[in-house]
């Protein structure tokens, strides 16, 4: 078990080991860069690696949700003409009961168990997303957007991985890249906002002592996401999605081994 890099000074302020902090910044930068290029994968890549570095799940979930929310606003606005709003609203609305179920689960299941499950979910998800992206486009199954929303809400509240079901749905349909990125971005904005609000009502947001760490990660993520978005229009996104999936798979394995 990796010791937590977070500690408290005599004045009660949150302190982070310098070496681990630098590694975490590299993880955040790389995950945000890949997320900007491919349209998804920030939490999928960052969460397992940050768990391996010893950051607690209770801190990572709200931070990942906040970073994904703030980095996707501009993307959703820029790609607003490509978005099927009714579908995204259905997924976002259906995520609310899933968030509620996730909050109940957090109160019943130990964080170490959730960490182990996170690794398993990441491994399975990367395999499913990769297979779905290589198959011919499939027809939409009735109720699939709502189901993706419910599952996404549950995963978001427990692990911040709320994009996995939506990515699987869009990959299965071979959605056009711009629509893929735009709909995911708006889904993250709406669902992450709802998740953070409900986490706040349950007193599950970290205290102000972690605000400097959160602002540092957010600043790095915004820069990396902007670079990734610019590169995404010039480089083959499929190649970088493959890289993101490979890193996520490796991170999932590492998470299980250190749970």
Give pLDDT tens digits for 202-222: 998 988 888 899 999 999 999
Count CB atoms within 10 A of the CB of residue 2.
Answer: 12
Q: What is the pLDDT of residues 229-241, one digit of tens each?
A: 877 666 666 666 6
Which of 157 and 232 is assigned the larger pLDDT?
157
Q: Is position 210 within any domain?
A: yes
Q: What is the domain extent for residue 181?
A: 17-258
Which of 120 and 138 is assigned the larger pLDDT?
120
DSSP 8: E
Q: Is position 73 within any domain?
A: yes
Q: Is position 172 within any domain?
A: yes
Q: Is 70 exceeded by the pLDDT of residue 64?
A: yes
Q: Is position 5 within any domain?
A: no
Q: Is position 3 within any domain?
A: no
Q: Is 90 exceeded by the pLDDT of residue 48?
A: no
Structure confidence at residue 244 as a pLDDT band (50, 70, 90) = low
In sequence order, what DSSP letters do the residues of 124-187 get, joined into one string? HHHHHHHHHHHSPP-PPPTTHHHHHHHHHHHHHHHHS-THHHHHHHHHHTT--HHHHHHHHHHH
Average pLDDT over residues 65-77: 91
Tokens 């399975």 belong to which residue? 124
Q: Is position 173 within any domain?
A: yes
Please name the residues in contact with 193: beta carbons below 8 A apart, sequence gap of 6 or more. 69
**What whole-number distance in Å separates Cα of residue 197 and Cα of residue 231?**
33
Structure confidence at residue 1 as a pLDDT band (50, 70, 90) = very low
Count of domains forming the chain: 1
Q: Is position 8 within any domain?
A: no
For 12, 150, 187, 188, 218, the CA distances from 165, given in Å and listed in that order, are 39, 9, 11, 12, 25
Report the range out of 9-13, 15-19, 22-26 with the highest average pLDDT. 22-26
pLDDT at 25: 94
Q: Is position 11 within any domain?
A: no
**SS3 state at 7:** strand
DSSP 41: -
Contact of 184 with 78, CB cutoff 8 Å: no
Q: Is 80 exceeded by the pLDDT of residue 72?
A: yes
Q: What is the pLDDT of residues 176-196, one digit of tens each?
A: 878 888 999 999 999 999 999
């Amino acid at each position: 078990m990796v010791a937590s890099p977070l500690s408290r000074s005599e004045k009660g302020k949150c302190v982070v080991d310098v070496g681990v902090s630098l590694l975490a910044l590299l993880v955040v930068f790389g995950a945000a860069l890949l997320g900007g290029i491919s349209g998804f994968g920030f939490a999928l890549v960052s969460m397992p690696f940050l768990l391996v570095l010893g950051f607690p799940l209770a801190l990572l979930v709200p931070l990942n949700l906040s970073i994904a929310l703030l980095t996707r606003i501009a993307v959703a606005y820029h790609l607003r003409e490509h978005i099927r709003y009714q579908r995204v609203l259905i997924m976002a609305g259906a995520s609310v009961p899933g968030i509620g179920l996730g909050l109940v689960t957090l109160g019943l299941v130990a964080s170490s168990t959730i960490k182990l499950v996170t690794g398993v979910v990441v491994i399975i998800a990367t395999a499913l997303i990769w297979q779905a992206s290589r198959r011919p486009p499939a027809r939409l199954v009735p109720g699939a957007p709502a189901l993706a929303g419910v599952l996404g809400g549950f995963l978001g509240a427990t692990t911040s991985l709320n994009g996995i079901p939506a990515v699987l749905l869009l990959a299965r349909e071979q959605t056009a890249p711009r629509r893929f990125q735009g709909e995911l971005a708006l889904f993250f904005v709406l669902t992450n906002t709802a998740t953070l609000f409900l986490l706040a009502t349950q007193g599950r947001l970290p205290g102000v002592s972690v605000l400097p760490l959160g602002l540092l990660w957010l600043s790095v993520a915004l820069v990396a996401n902007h670079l990734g978005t610019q590169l995404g229009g010039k480089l083959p996104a499929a190649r970088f999605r493959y890289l993101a999936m490979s890193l996520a798979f490796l991170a999932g394995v590492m998470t299980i081994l250190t749970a």
